[in-house]
Structure formats: C-alpha cells, structure tokens
Structure 1
Amino acid sequence: MNQQFDEQDLKWSQYWLAENLKLGSAQWGALNDLLRLLAAENEQQNLVAKGTLPFAWSRHIVDSLQLITHVPRGTSTWLDLGTGAGFPGLACAIALPQTHFTLVEQRPRRTEWLERAKVALGLRNVEIVTANISQVPKQDFDVISARAFAPLEKLLNLSAAFSTKATAWVLPKGRSATHELETLKGWRHMFHVEQSVTDPQSGIITGHLIGRK
C-alpha cells in the first residue's frame, strides 16, 4: 500500500535523525519499509492507533530511535520488553546492526508479525521470543527498554533479573514518568527523567538499577 505521511512531520523527523544519528541509505530504506509493513498489517490487526500512521516517522521511528542517544556506544545486547508492533525494538535494531536485540512479546499474533517483519527487513540481529517475561531464560543485558509495558515498580520486579549495575535502562513513560519515579519504592537506583523529543510533556526514565533496598 502507498503510505501517506504528513509532510511537516516527515521533514522534522528526517532532520532530527540526520542531526542525531548516523544512518546509511540502507537503514533509511529499512525504516521506511518497516512503516510500510506496519501500515499494511494494521489493516489486519490493531498494532498502532490508525491516527498515528500519517505521523509514524515521529510517533514511532523518532520516538524509538531517540532511546539510542541515552545508551552507551558499543552496546552488544538489548532486551526490549512488550515489543508489540516492533517499537522500539525493530526500529532500533535497524539503526544498530552490530547490537543483538531480544524482543519479548507474549501475544502470538504480534510475534508472528514481528517474525515476518524481521525476515522482510533482513534483520539478522533480532531474536523474537513469544513468552511472558517470567518464562524468559535469565541472562544479563547491556540495555533494557520497555514502551508502555508496565508501571515502573512492576516492571522492575519482573525484569531486574536481566539487569546488572552497568545495564542502561531506557523506559518511555509518557506523562507519568516523573510521578512513577518519585513514587518508586523498594529499589536503589540512579534513574532520572529525560524529556522526550517527540512530546514535551512526555518523559523517558533512564539510568541504572543498583538493587533492592
């Protein structure tokens, strides 16, 4: 299908990406292909709100790729929880081909789509896991992300086992970011809130988890 994007949104997104990330022509093409695949699949299942599709470059691509600016260079392993439509996992995997991404999503219909998209995009650095987070074999990751997965305290309870003190957490939290961090109990951490570039009222909780109190 011929995906139509809002012209101003597309121009701003292209500008931000060019200024902040070094993407090759193949990566630009793959990101565009990801949005084309998303729009087509969205006709079959509700991956994202239909109204976001004309603004998909900012709402889904830039919103995902901004997380890369908060993680260390040379990141080897990245765990994305509740990947859903592939954001941020698939988008970041396109931008970071040397990083191995593990995308966890428990809804089989979503993971079937993720597998098809992975193959279509030729992403050899992506592993799709169809499981509840409690069923995922424990290992340490350099980065952990989760977009609209669970409230912060619950998220940490479920996924702290995949983290070390060096793990970088990048958690888009929308307008609840500051409140969730201020009310977090039971954990020692070095988290703070960064403003999202795609929404001045939204925040990203980022930093390192030290352990339980």
Structure 2
Amino acid sequence: MPQSLDGNVSRETHEKLQALEALVRRWNPRINLVAASTLDDLWARHIVDSMQVFELVGQPVTSWVDLGSGGGFPGIVCAIMALEQMPDCHFTLVESDKRKAAFLLVCQQQFSLNLTVRVERAEQLSPVSADVVSARALAPLPQLLPLVHRHLALGGIALLPKGKNHMAELEAARAEWQFDVTSHDSKTDESARILALKDIQRV
C-alpha cells in the first residue's frame, strides 16, 4: 500500500493542502489542471506525490524553479510546505499556458506563497540558477535535461518524478549527458521513482 506523508506536516500546512485540493476540484472542469480520471484519487496521485518531492531536498535552500508547473504539482505543494520548513526559499513556477498560470497566481495569493509565476516556455526563460529544479510529467529525460541544466545552479539538485520507464529514460539520457543520480522509491506508485540528479554536464 502507498505510504502517506500526512504525518510529516503541521495541521496548518495540512489544512492549506486540503484547501488546494478543493481549489483544484473547483477549477478543473474549466481548465483541466489534472486528468479527470485522477480526480477520485487526487490527494494521493497529485498532492502526496508532490509532497514526497519536497521531502527529498534534505536541507534548506533559497531558490527553487518548477518547470511546466501546470496545476501546481509539485510547485504549489512544495511552496506550501516551504512556508514553515524553508520560509526563505523563493519559488519560480514556469508555465506557458496562460489559464493554468492564472490558477497558479490564485494559489499564490490565497496561500501567501513566496513565489513568482513566469508565463513563458522554460527554454526561453533566462537562466534562473536555482538550488532545486523540479519537473513532473513535462518531458522524457533526454528532452528534459537541457531545460534542467539551463536553470540549475552549480551544486544544485534536480528532483524529477518519473514513471515505469525511468530506466529507459536514464539510459537514453546518458547518450548526451553525464550526471550523478539517486533513484528514490515513490510512496504513491510502486513502478515510479523520483530521480535526484546532480553534477549534470553534457558529454
């Protein structure tokens, strides 16, 4: 059975995450923030799945960029968790879809989050030089790494949730890139992993 991370957060943070869940449900019929087929299991599939990304940072950081933020997973969830655990961390959420970006701004205002929403494509955004780069369901690893490399600070870490094809994606990516990788089991999907990449360089 998937493990829950609910016990790792304060009551206040938990309430904010529940409010986010309600907000996604309210907006989803109009904007399709998440696949309708996942709404019945929204808490585990999207919120807990994003919470575990935050848990892997391991130490306080001051800058975090989330690429292709979509409905706010993991970016909004991590920014909510950071309010108490890493209050000095500023998030940059990159989302080219104006309607989804509008939703992210509503979240920023409702939860008083320390973040900026950039309504542009990650490859066109000026390099952010972030301590942490995250991206969930944005692109396969070979296409994702140029974007991650562009925005990751020297010594930073990329946290990339991946599905059952993670090993094939890693093998394909190594044709053009070298990196140190730690593969973490997902607490919400037995076939998924969260890949933590450091020292990313072109071959």
Normalised by the length of structure 2, the TM-score is: 0.91
**Alignment partner of 1:33 out of 19, 26, 32:** 19
Contact preservation (8 Å) 1:178, 1:193 = no
Listed one character per residue, the Cα deviations across residues 47-84 of structure 1 (whole Å, up to 9, x for unaligned) are 11223223211111110010122213111111100000
**Alignment partner of 1:96 out of 77, 82, 85:** 82
Trace 1:61-210 onto structure 2 (pairs within 5 A): 61-97=47-83, 98=87, 99-123=89-113, 125-184=114-173, 185-210=175-200
Contact preservation (8 Å) 1:104, 1:131 = yes
One-letter amino acid of the structure 1 residue matched with residue 193 of structure 2: G
Q: 1:210 to 1:52 in 2, by over 3 A?
A: closer
- Aligned-partner Cα distance in 1 for 2:167–2:56: 17
- Aligned-partner Cα distance in 2 for 1:159–1:192: 16
Aligned residues: 198
Q: What stretches of structure 1 of length at least 5 have no aligned partner?
A: 1-7
Listed one character per residue, the Cα deviations across residues 109-131 of structure 1 (whole Å, up to 9, x for unaligned) are 110111112212222x1111100
Contact preservation (8 Å) 1:76, 1:142 = yes
- Aligned-partner Cα distance in 1 for 2:200–2:112: 36
Contact preservation (8 Å) 2:148, 2:158 = no
- Aligned-partner Cα distance in 1 for 2:34–2:137: 12
Contact preservation (8 Å) 1:76, 1:100 = yes
Contact preservation (8 Å) 1:174, 1:203 = yes
Q: Secondary structure of the residue that 2:53 maps to in structure 1?
A: helix
Q: How far 1:87 moved relative to its partner?
A: 0.3
Q: How far 1:164 moved relative to its partner?
A: 3.3
Counterpart position of 1:3 = none
Q: Which has the higher contact order (CA 8 A, sep 6+)?
A: 2
Alignment partner of 1:211 is 2:201: yes
One-letter amino acid of the structure 2 residue matched with residue 66 of structure 1: Q
Q: How far 1:24 moved relative to its partner?
A: 2.2
Return structure 1 stretches of 4+ with deviation > 2 angstroms. none
- Aligned-partner Cα distance in 1 for 2:184–2:172: 17
- Aligned-partner Cα distance in 1 for 2:135–2:61: 17
- Aligned-partner Cα distance in 2 for 1:29–1:197: 21
**Cα RMSD (Å):** 1.7
One-letter amino acid of the structure 2 residue matched with residue 193 of structure 1: S
